[in-house]
Chains A and B, each alone.
Chain A
């Protein structure tokens, strides 16, 4: 998918992933529709890289991450992790594959059982998937606590005795316990304050270097994604609208939604901040239970064309390694596109 000179191993392949949640209503709890939280998402993640997944609230980022790990029973599509199709296999068969893929959760307070000690929390995956004896398990727990920078003395404490950053470290230690290859980080820094965010992100990067981890980094913090991700996927209303390498995406956004999203990033320099032309989108995000016909973004797109109203744009590679779902890049309209890109950058 990238240039042929570096054929890297795909560790995650997601194809046309759909996660629809049914809506029941009325006296007989009849199924009256569905929330299309994730509606046809395809991407690959290569070994050792970080794929950032960004988008506004409610666009299906977290659902996508959870669906990939099969925390939900997905509606359609296929997920291949490390060469193994896991899209529709039963949970029982999934269990032995769990050690390969783990998750770091958004809210470190909610994702730790308040009645378990730190040692018990970090040890839970070890109890489930290994035959370590008590002493060996404790040794491994201490190793993990060292790895994430937690004092070993804290092993007997309970989650409520820690600060947010420390709790997130416990969550990360738990995710690392089984030496996973792939970790979904579901907004791991959203609940932390800024100085702690940096610590946690640096920890994640360090661990990636040491252990060769692959991340799917879900976040709505565009600056943080720019810092940590190698490639970035932008989601809007259940679909990936653009997928590109970090530099390409941040320097030369192609999709109108990406442009608008990036123009909203605050600039720390007041002098240049004044010069930014923000693209203000009009209206609200349509309901995911009733997405518009044609392109999902056609109701708010500043560059909407007649074709957008009735035909869904295909998610395709416009230049190598760069995927966009937008009619602006249809081959017959190609001559218009480059001119626009230069103007935007």
Chain B
């Protein structure tokens, strides 16, 4: 195999290197869980995006005579104590929850990776950035959230409208309070990678720091980032629910999955299915995202690919 005499059993026409994303897709397809997860996640996203237009009942239509109903043809998921259709509220709530989850995750991932890579790669920044990370880890989260929301809720509402304003606030709050784990993991990995010989080889070629990071370090720390990302979505959805529960999140008549879940806990004894729907939606989405992350991590690692 070392020489370039043609190997009869090995007929592979010389072709230009194809984009590695095709290899990634090929490997991703072999991971059944990931494929299923991706399918389900896509379904959820499509459902919450176009569902509210298709489903004839608006999420805030009150029909007091049809309150506290179980599943029926008219209301497949039943109705709540004000007679609002649970399916419509689930679809509308999903929009917010999924959007908050993805955006907050992206924000915290961006922050975490940035801080981690800078701290790991540049020795001078390591001390200050890691102490900064420790500072954030040591902050008591709940009082901090309270203060931030007290301070910024009204200006943001005034600037972007009540819903968008709160959306920005919540995404930002979740983002800046959950990047620390990612930063620490990424920093550790970058510190280890930096000493590997291929980084030295790249330096001997004259690769500047910027491209050293984008070409060699980031692809190699992708696995932990991926794991953080999938956990991050789950974390963001749940934090948003908790904030809504505390009355710090979206307005009480504005549905999110977390909001629905907490509203339903009051009726847990009488109508347990009302807790089950949003609970199921959150768990299944989180599970699907975890599977996607798992499959992506495998697919992005050439050593695992093709096995």
A98 cross-chain contacts in B, Cβ below 8 A: 204-206
A113 cross-chain contacts in B, Cβ below 8 A: 198, 202, 215-216, 219-220
Q: Which residue of B lies closest to A110 (CB)?
A: B197
Task: Decide yes or no whether A146 CB sits under 8 A from chain B.
Answer: yes
Determine whether the beta carbon of B4 is less than 8 Å from that of A149: yes
B202 cross-chain contacts in A, Cβ below 8 A: 113, 124
The stretch of B16-24, B39-47, B94-102, B244-252 that contacts the partner chain: B16-24
Instruction: Indicate whether A199 sits within 8 Å of B20 (C-beta atoms), given known contacts A94-B206, A124-B205, A153-B10.
Output: no
Determine whether the beta carbon of B1 is less than 8 Å from that of A112: no
Determine whether the beta carbon of A110 is less than 8 Å from that of B18: no
Most chain A CB atoms below 10 A, which of B196, B197, B205, B300:
B205
Most chain A CB atoms below 10 A, which of B1, B206, B216:
B206
Task: Decide yes or no whether B124 CB sits under 8 A from chain A.
Answer: no
Instruction: Indicate whether A115 sits within 8 Å of B220 (C-beta atoms), given known contacts A146-B4, A158-B303, A169-B2.
Output: yes
Distance in angstroms from B207 CB to nearest chain A CB is: 6
Most chain A CB atoms below 10 A, which of B10, B207, B301:
B207
Determine whether the beta carbon of A105 is less than 8 Å from that of B197: yes
Residues 1-32 of chain B, each 1 if its beta carbon lies under 8 Å from chain A, else 0: 11110010010111111101000000000000
B305 cross-chain contacts in A, Cβ below 8 A: 158
Determine whether the beta carbon of B302 is less than 8 Å from that of A115: yes
Determine whether the beta carbon of A166 is less than 8 Å from that of B2: yes
Residues 274-305 of chain B, each 1 if its beta carbon lies under 8 Å from chain A, else 0: 00000000000000000000000000111101
Which one of B2, B10, B201 contacts A103 once the chains associate, using CB atoms below 8 Å? B201
Q: Compute how far the CA of A98 lies from the CA of B205 in the bound complex, rounded to whole angstroms.
A: 6
Q: Which residue of B lies closest to A171 (CB)?
A: B201
Determine whether the beta carbon of B205 is less than 8 Å from that of A156: no
Determine whether the beta carbon of B208 is less than 8 Å from that of A199: no
Determine whether the beta carbon of A102 is less than 8 Å from that of B204: yes
Task: Decide yes or no whether A260 CB sits under 8 A from chain B.
Answer: no
Using a CB-CB cutoff of 8 Å, which residues 276-335 of chain A contact chain B?
none
Task: Decide yes or no whether A30 CB sits under 8 A from chain B.
Answer: no
Determine whether the beta carbon of A165 is less than 8 Å from that of B2: yes
Instruction: Indicate whether A128 sits within 8 Å of B197 (C-beta atoms), given known contacts A115-B219, A166-B2.
Output: no
Determine whether the beta carbon of B203 is less than 8 Å from that of A199: no
Determine whether the beta carbon of B18 is less than 8 Å from that of A156: yes
A149 cross-chain contacts in B, Cβ below 8 A: 2-4
Determine whether the beta carbon of B4 is less than 8 Å from that of A103: no
Instruction: Indicate whether A152 sits within 8 Å of B303 (C-beta atoms), given known contacts A98-B205, A105-B200, A112-B198.
Output: no
Task: Decide yes or no whether A119 CB sits under 8 A from chain B.
Answer: yes
Instruction: Indicate whether A155 sits within 8 Å of B17 (C-beta atoms), given known contacts A110-B198, A115-B220.
Output: yes
Main SS class of interface, B: loop
Distance in angstroms from A203 CB to nearest chain B CB is: 10
Q: Compute how far the CA of A320 lies from the CA of B207 in the bound complex, rounded to whole angstroms.
A: 41
Q: Compute how far the CA of A124 lies from the CA of B211 in the bound complex, rounded to whole angstroms.
A: 11
A150 cross-chain contacts in B, Cβ below 8 A: 2, 4
Q: Compute how far the CA of A101 lies from the CA of B215 in the bound complex, rounded to whole angstroms.
A: 22
B12 cross-chain contacts in A, Cβ below 8 A: 153
A115 cross-chain contacts in B, Cβ below 8 A: 219-220, 300-302
Determine whether the beta carbon of A128 is less than 8 Å from that of B207: yes
Determine whether the beta carbon of B303 is less than 8 Å from that of A125: no
Which one of A103, A138, A166 contacts B204 once the chains associate, using CB atoms below 8 Å? A103
Q: Which residue of B lies closest to A125 (CB)?
A: B205
A106 cross-chain contacts in B, Cβ below 8 A: 197
B303 cross-chain contacts in A, Cβ below 8 A: 114, 158, 160
Q: Which residue of A lies closest to B199 (CB)?
A: A113
Using a CB-CB cutoff of 8 Å, which residues 56-77 of chain A contact chain B?
66, 69, 71
A156 cross-chain contacts in B, Cβ below 8 A: 15, 17-18
Distance in angstroms from B201 CB to nearest chain A CB is: 5
Distance in angstroms from A284 CB to nearest chain B CB is: 26
A102 cross-chain contacts in B, Cβ below 8 A: 204-205
A110 cross-chain contacts in B, Cβ below 8 A: 196-198
Which one of A69, A111, A125 contacts B197 once the chains associate, using CB atoms below 8 Å? A111
Distance in angstroms from B131 CB to nearest chain A CB is: 15
A210 cross-chain contacts in B, Cβ below 8 A: none
Most chain A CB atoms below 10 A, which of B3, B215, B220:
B215
Distance in angstroms from A206 CB to nearest chain B CB is: 13
Using a CB-CB cutoff of 8 Å, which residues 129-145 of chain B contact chain A?
none
Closest 8 pairs (CB-CB, A-B) = A98-B206, A158-B302, A110-B197, A111-B197, A95-B206, A115-B219, A113-B198, A119-B17
8 A-B residue pairings within 8 Å (CB atoms): A95-B206, A110-B197, A111-B197, A111-B200, A113-B215, A115-B219, A151-B3, A165-B2
| 20 other A-B residue contacts (CB within 8 Å) besides A102-B205, A107-B197, A166-B1 | A66-B200, A69-B204, A94-B206, A102-B204, A103-B204, A105-B200, A110-B196, A113-B198, A114-B220, A117-B17, A124-B205, A138-B16, A150-B4, A151-B7, A152-B14, A153-B10, A153-B13, A156-B17, A158-B305, A163-B2
